Amino acid sequence: MDEQDARPEGAGAPEVELEHLDTLWFQVTGTICNLECSHCFISCSPDNHTLEFLDLETVLDWVERSGEWGVKEFYVTGGEPFMHRDLAAMLEAMLQRGPASVLTNGTLMREKTLRRLATAHEESRYSLEIRVSIDGPNPEMNDPIRGEGTFERAMEGVRKLLDHGFLPIVTATQVWDQEEDEAVRREFMENLRAQGYENPRLKILPSIKTGREAARSRGYGEGERVTAAMMEGYEEEQLICSSARIVTSEGVHVCPILVDEPDSLMGQTMEEADEPFELKHQACYTCWLHGAICSNYGGIGEEVT
Amino acid sequence: MTPGEEGGGAGAVAATDRPQAAEERDPEVRATDARRIAVFGGVYSNWRALEAVVEDARRRGADELYCLGDLGAFGPNPDRIPPRLIDADVRTIRGNYDDSISRGLDDCQCGYTDPRDNHFARLSYRYTFRNTSERWREWMGTLPEQRRIEMAGREVLMCHGSPRRMNEFLWESTSSTQFLDWMAREHGADVVLCTHTGIHWKRRLSGGGWFANVGCIGRPPNDGRTDVWYTLLSTEGDGGEEPTSASSPGEREAPAGGNGGRDRSTGDGGDAALEVEFVPVSYDHEALAEEMRREELPEEFVETILTGWWTTCLEVLPAKERRRGRH
């Protein structure tokens, strides 16, 4: 029985149209990563070749054509994008046309690449955002998730980025209990300030309970799905499938969260990918609940009462 | 963004909280003979700056004045703004803050997630709501969401956030030219003027028009100076005079919003019929700061008025804009 069949009658999955291609994502290193985090929703690892590297020419071609569609900004993810030897060349090309963001684990910050990126950033009118994933304000919380020694290595990455004039957005998946939120935020800010990051930028994300994270966490409950009724009056622009697509080695997918799902592949061209998408996956529920989880702003906020 | 706007926290915004889609509210085009118009946004209850801007714009020969919304928040005594706009014959549109206040919503439809930002946003929103009388709340609800004029044969679209969304942030460093081209084309405008972020900037569009964020007059653009900025849109050749101004001329070249001060570049093939110019205005900011303290507004807001550096609601700033500030 697939997910669709598991729905109660009358609770069909709603469709979301691509309103405009604001954001063009690239999965530049596929599912290949130097780390093997226990909460990875697409189970990236050094030897997961489900999705492969994108070559430079492919990326440059998409960036060039983005002008036709009026793309506002570019996002780069993996796997670990800094494993790609052409990452700097890709970002340089993007920054000629618009703002770019890179999602990294911060452990592969090479001096030569950072110097190149700093220059590209200085010369561009657009922002280059570097988002460094650290899943806790200390090694005790982070390392069991991301691997032994990764807290110190990522913090070193943050320092190097600061040295090159970047203001990295530290991105943490909420692997702690909700009630610990305030204390965790405080400790994060204190520890980042201790690294010389005077005004730290911190973004907290919900976990996506698929891939390895399904096994680590409780996974999704049967009721955690998006129904047509839940979309009534909902701001569709909060869902990135209304404003983004992602290019991988396989083609164009609906969003970066679902690249592991066969039906997320919409085709080989943007024309083919300009179709409505049915929110039938349980990960869609997380996106619906929190909104804008993949973009640089937004995420899990303070509960407003 | 308005400093001190209340974030909605995470998650969905209810149906009733949602501004109408842009397509449903495209207004009629009004032809104007004006040679020069003054446009500003984000008053944020700064009535002293408003008075100074109106005076400066008149002195510089602005035939019409426009306000792109966000009348309240941040500053003291919000009820002082609407009468001054009406008296000065300012054509005003509704910003997200005005939309929230007029409809009695719980927040400003902005969506901060940082707890500190939310704290200050909440203080500010509650103060503004409490001190806005029923009469002006209703008046805000009658304001149009966009205006279109035809000036020197060019169609000028004025909106709050963007032509498609009242609460969309358009920052200089995160808005590609190809995107701005698309948006202007999509909405049939040669020139698009917006506000909402609080930092002014402009971009020449590929077709020769302009996309400009007119900035705000409620607080300085996070540049360490106390002046506030408004925008003049002038027909070509009508922007050269240098009338005596309350502002010091030396500050006109100050980097602000990345574009510097005065910039009347029209040399792209000579097809530009309109010029966009940013103008700094000084006002009695110390008196405003005193009034804010009397009203027991947060000292963090007062500091911004006195120093020119933003102290709160920084999470939505992109890297380049954030790096220019102190905090």
In tens digits, chain B (327 residues) has pLDDT values of 444 443 333 333 333 344 444 444 557 899 999 999 999 999 999 999 999 999 999 999 999 999 999 999 999 999 999 999 999 999 999 999 999 999 998 887 777 778 888 899 999 999 999 999 999 999 999 999 999 999 999 999 999 999 999 999 999 999 999 999 999 999 999 999 999 999 999 999 999 999 999 999 999 999 999 999 999 999 987 654 444 444 433 333 333 333 333 343 443 433 448 999 999 999 999 999 999 999 999 999 999 999 999 999 898 999 999 999 999
* B36: Cα within 13 Å, side-chain hemisphere: 20
pLDDT at A301: 56
Alpha carbon distances (Å) from B95 to A294, B144, B162, B184 = 27, 9, 11, 20
Is B323 an interface residue toward A (CB < 8 Å)?
yes
Confidence of residue A6 (pLDDT cuts 50, 70, 90): low
Prediction pTM value: 0.90
Task: Flag if A70 and B181 touch (Cβ within 8 Å).
Answer: yes
- Which ipTM was obtained for this model? 0.94
Question: How remote is the C-alpha of B290 from its chain's centroid?
Answer: 24
Task: Flag if A128 and B319 touch (Cβ within 8 Å).
Answer: yes
CB count within 10 Å of CB B300 equals: 18
pLDDT at B238: 64
pLDDT above 90 as % of chain A? 88
From A72, A233, A302, residue closest to B175, measured CB to CB:
A72
Identify all chain B residues contacting A66, using CB atoms and an 8 Å cutoff. Answer: 178
Alpha carbon distances (Å) from A239 to A71, A200, A292, B16, B171 = 17, 27, 6, 19, 21
CB count within 10 Å of CB B89 equals: 9
pLDDT at B280: 98
The two structure tokens encoding residue B57: 């714009």
Which of A125, A171, A192 is the mutation pick for testing B, counting most B CBs within 10 A? Answer: A125
B/e letters for A206-230, b = 16+ CB within 10 Å, e = fewer, are ebbbbbbbbebeeebeeeebbbeeb
According to the per-residue pLDDT averaged within each range, which of A40-54, A223-237, A288-302 is highest? A40-54
Say yes or no: domain A18-290 is CATH 3.90.79.10.
Answer: no
Identify all chain B residues contacting A125, using CB atoms and an 8 Å cutoff. Answer: 172-173, 258
Return the closest-CA partner of residue A255 out of A64, A24, A80. Answer: A24
Distance CA A78, CA A109 (A): 15
Average pLDDT for residues A72-95, to the nearest whole number?
A: 98
**What values do phi and psi take at B289, rounded to 5?**
-60, -40
pLDDT above 70 as % of chain A? 94
pLDDT at B165: 95
Chain A: closest CA distance from residue B303 (Å): 17
- Bridge partners (DSSP) of residue A170 are A132, A202
> In sequence order, what are the residues at sequence separation of 6 or more whose Cβ sits closer than 8 angstroms to the Cβ of residue A29?
A53, A54, A78, A79, A80, A81, A83, A84
From B118, B172, B178, residue closest to A304, measured CB to CB:
B118
Is A22 an interface residue toward B (CB < 8 Å)?
yes
pLDDT at B272: 45
Which residue of chain A comes nearest to B323, CA vs CA? A167
Q: DSSP letters along B207-236, please?
A: TS-EEEE---SSS--SSS---EEEEEEEET
Q: What residues of chain B, 78 to 107, have a C-beta less than 8 Å from chain A?
A: 106-107
Which residue of chain B comes nearest to A22, CA vs CA? B179
Average pLDDT for residues A113-132, to the nearest whole number?
A: 98
Distance CA B10, CA A267 (A): 32
The ranges assigned to domains in chain A are: 18-290
Distance CA B42, CA A273 (A): 39
The ranges assigned to domains in chain B are: 21-323
Identify all chain A residues contacting B174, using CB atoms and an 8 Å cutoff. Answer: 72-73, 99, 126-127
Polymer length in residues for chain B? 327
CB-based burial label for B162 (10 Å; 0-12, 13-18, 19+): buried
How much is the mean pLDDT over chain A? Answer: 93
**B21-323 adopts what CATH topology?**
Purple Acid Phosphatase; chain A, domain 2 (3.60.21)
Distance CA B125, CA B301 (A): 13
Q: What residues of chain A, 123 to 152, have a C-beta less than 8 Å from chain B?
A: 125-129
